[in-house]
Amino acid sequence: MLFILFGLLIIVMKAEEGTRSRRGKRWKMEDKRTMDMLKARLGDENYRKLSRIDNQELHQFIARYVELCNPDKVFVSTGSPEDVYYIRQEAIRAGEEKELAMEGHTVHFDGYYDQARDKKNTKFLLPAGVDLGANINAVDREEGLKEIHDTMRGIMQGHQLYVLFFCLGPLNSQFSIPAVQLTDSGYVAHSEDLLYRQGYEEFVRLGKSVRFFKFVHSAGALDEEMTSKNIDKRRVYIDLEDETVYSVNTQYGGNTIGLKKLAMRLAINKGSKEGWRTEHMFIMGVHGPSKRVTYFTGAFPSLCGKTSTSMLLGETIIGDDIAYLRKRDGVIRAVNPEKGIFGIIHGINSEDDPLIWKTLHSPDEIIFSNILVTEEKGVYWIGKNEAQPTKGIHHSGEWTPGKRDAEGNEISLSHPNARFTLDMRLIENLDPELDNPEGVVIGGIIYGGRDSDTKVPVEESFDWVHGVITMGAALESETTAAALGKEGVQKINPMSNLDFLSIPTGKYIEDYLNFGAKLRNPPPIFSVNYFLRDSEGNLTNDKTDKRVWLKWMELRSHHEVEAITTPTGHIPKHEDLKRLFREVLDKEYPNKDYVKQFTVRVAETLAKIERVMEFYKTKVLDTPKIVFEVLEEQKQRLILARENYGDYISPNKLSFTKKV
């Protein structure tokens, strides 16, 4: 009997060996066909560059979209200075960018109706039976792939395809995610060269073992202004299963620069599975006493002060937009997956933003988009504190004051969502830890939004859970020009990340709560609000006051100043702020300003809690129970405080409460 079983085992093993052999031969034949096709389409030099990367999956991916999209020419970039320069010059030659008067500066215009992230047509491709929740815009995976592939068939005819390799995060780091971008836009390729670390040599080094994100973009047919023509067919599809993003018939960076918010969606999903976090956060160093540097992350919706906070005078910046967070040895460490800034230029001026202002006026490589170009080939944007030009060229063509579009809307001198793109090495306050493969230890987390009548300028949560729920999950802000749709509408935006979630919202919050559960010393969580107004509609603080709020948060993170306990968190004592205003801004801070800013607005805060609870009851069906419990506790504290002090509680009335 044993002899018979042994014989059967040998037969099975030989059969499996034969199957493996046939499969191996088939794979080799497929790989040979792939490489032969690529050699014919790429030419000797570009083929040589690509063949240095020993990864069959990569070769087949590139071959598939070369065949499908059918570009006239393919350029493979190694990230060398020569290849990067070639891409920049091709963007100019093709008319996607135009040179400006200052050396190194170029301008790009998106189409008039292609100026922001297209939330409606940005969809996840999900297999049957997979549901990420009501807040996730999704389409059936098979249907979506068929539609996007049909749209992409032959779409690059007459165009040049750029094959680009990058690394999200510092090189050779546990944070790193290799990525490959295919695009027929020189502007997109040039932008990514400025924004991301070159990754070609990482692909070569890792070879067969490399696991990577994939991005395919085509601007589609272009009009005489070299802008995307068929924006009615604009699509941005995200395939989580294959970690691939498709973007077509659009040029605006938020829809096309794949490694930015599109890669962020892939990374959120990946991080949720692996126990780390991808957040819509800046990373900055706040400089405290005795040359101490404390690193903070901060999440703010667009046009809420995120970039200006991370670029404050006297502090240092690691990143202005996205952060990868991991737990190491009981603390949170973070890196910036980017190395450049794709920033909103609206409102930047020499007084409030001296560092970025100086950079934008220096002769180095900067792409401006959707600003006004003057007759002298200078640039102008909304909020620039210089004499306003009376004519120029921008995204609508020739512009003069009072010009209106086809719908009768007056066209501003630059688009509210106009941008600048640059490498962070140009910035004077760049933090030396930008490329540290270990990341930096996070000493505090900040959430900020636009709130005209409720939130105080700065407040600390009671603990990690309280902060995640009442400051992060409850983050509410006005909509802005960074996304298509009506502006000025109050919306709840958990952690300023709702637009980019690739997991159910309840799961995202649960992951967040768990992330801090076993930390040795969870960083304190703060909220800030630069937009609080008085009864006459005037802002209660100056733009530069945020420098003081940051210094107070830095001291609090080291338990070096006390705070006043309110029903919603800890706020600064007047005497501490008075000292900091004098030290940091050399100005007085009278008690009347303190009272105006830090009064607890009970009725408004209770109304906010009701809006938040309604959002989670109706929009997030998988909300963790603890969210409602913590919000209800906050509500009851406010009701009790109102019974004792009324609807508006001066911080001076709370001064007798226990200091912490």
What is the per-residue pLDDT for 485? 54
Q: 3-class SS at 121?
A: coil
The 10 Å CB-count burial string (b at 16+, else e) for 259-274 is: bbbbbbbbbbbbbbee
Question: Model-level pTM?
Answer: 0.92
Query: Which pLDDT band holds residue 469 (cuts at 50, 70, 90)?
Result: very high
Helices (H), 52-69: 56-69
> Average of pLDDT values for 277-285?
97
Residues 447 and 563 occupy one common structural domain: yes
Cα torsion 54, 60, 63, 69: sign: negative
The more confident residue out of 494 and 131 is: 494
What is the per-residue pLDDT for 7? 60
Q: What is the CATH number of the domain that holds 127?
A: 3.40.449.10
What is the per-residue pLDDT for 299? 97
The more confident residue out of 567 and 658 is: 567
Q: How long, in residues, is the chain?
A: 660
What is the per-residue pLDDT for 27? 46
Q: Is the pLDDT of residue 339 over 90?
A: yes
Residues 222 and 368 occupy one common structural domain: no
Task: Kindly tell me the burial class for residue 173, based on how many C-beta atoms sit within 10 Å of its own C-beta (0-12, 13-18, 19 or more).
Answer: middle
- Residue where a domain terminates, one of 382, 402, 426: 426
Residues 254 and 326 occupy one common structural domain: no
Instruction: Give the list of residues 6+ apart from residue 119 with CB closer than 8 angstroms, or none.
Output: 137, 483, 484, 485, 499
- Residue where a domain terminates, one of 391, 426, 461: 426
Residues 362 and 474 occupy one common structural domain: no
> Average of pLDDT values for 634-646?
96
Q: 152 φ, ψ to 5°? A: -85, -10
Q: Report if residue 263 sits inside a domain.
A: yes
Query: Which pLDDT band holds residue 167 (cuts at 50, 70, 90)?
Result: very high
Q: Is the pLDDT of residue 483 over 60?
A: no
Query: Which pLDDT band holds residue 4 (cuts at 50, 70, 90)?
Result: low
Write down the catalytic residue from 262, 299, 304, 503.
Answer: 304
Q: Report if residue 102 sits inside a domain.
A: no
Query: Which pLDDT band holds residue 561 (cuts at 50, 70, 90)?
Result: very high
What is the per-residue pLDDT for 99? 98
Calpha distance 229→251 (Å, rounded): 10
Segment 519-530, tens digit of pLDDT: 988 999 999 999
Query: Which pLDDT band holds residue 660 (cuts at 50, 70, 90)?
Result: very low
Calpha distance 636→641 (Å, rounded): 9
Q: Report if residue 107 sits inside a domain.
A: no
Mean pLDDT of the chain: 92
Q: Report if residue 99 sits inside a domain.
A: no
Instruction: Give the list of residues 6+ apart from residue 259 with CB closer than 8 angstroms, or none.
Output: 166, 168, 179, 181, 192, 195, 196, 213, 215, 337, 338
Q: What is the CATH number of the domain that holds 589?
A: 3.90.228.20
Task: Kindly tell me the burial class for residue 362, based on how many C-beta atoms sit within 10 Å of its own C-beta (0-12, 13-18, 19 or more).
Answer: middle
Calpha distance 159→156 (Å, rounded): 5
Residues 324 and 409 occupy one common structural domain: no
Calpha distance 627→21 (Å, rounded): 56
Q: Report if residue 223 sits inside a domain.
A: yes
Domain range holding 12? 1-36
Residues 350 and 489 occupy one common structural domain: no
What is the per-residue pLDDT for 619? 93
Query: Which pLDDT band holds residue 574 (cuts at 50, 70, 90)?
Result: very high
Q: How large a percentage of the chain has pLDDT more than 90?
A: 85
Q: Is the pLDDT of residue 500 over 50?
A: yes
Q: Report if residue 104 sits inside a domain.
A: no
Q: Is the pLDDT of residue 494 over 90?
A: yes
- Residue where a domain terminates, one of 405, 426, 447: 426
Q: Report if residue 246 sits inside a domain.
A: yes
Residues 236 and 268 occupy one common structural domain: yes
Residues 287 and 402 occupy one common structural domain: no
Residues 305 and 373 occupy one common structural domain: no
Q: How large a percentage of the chain has pLDDT more than 70?
A: 93
Q: What is the CATH number of the domain that holds 416?
A: 2.170.8.10
Q: Report if residue 541 sits inside a domain.
A: yes
Q: Is the pLDDT of residue 370 over 50?
A: yes
Cα torsion 515, 517, 521, 526: sign: positive
Cα torsion 46, 49, 51, 53: sign: negative
Residues 545 and 620 occupy one common structural domain: yes
> Average of pLDDT values for 217-224?
96
Residues 28 and 127 occupy one common structural domain: no
Residues 31 and 145 occupy one common structural domain: no
Calpha distance 433→439 (Å, rounded): 7
DSSP assignment string, 15-38: HHHHHHHHHHHHHHHHHHHHHHHH
**Domains in the chain, number:** 4
Neighbouring C-beta atoms of residue 618, cutoff 10 Å: 9
Active site residue 167: no
Q: Is the pLDDT of residue 487 over 70?
A: no
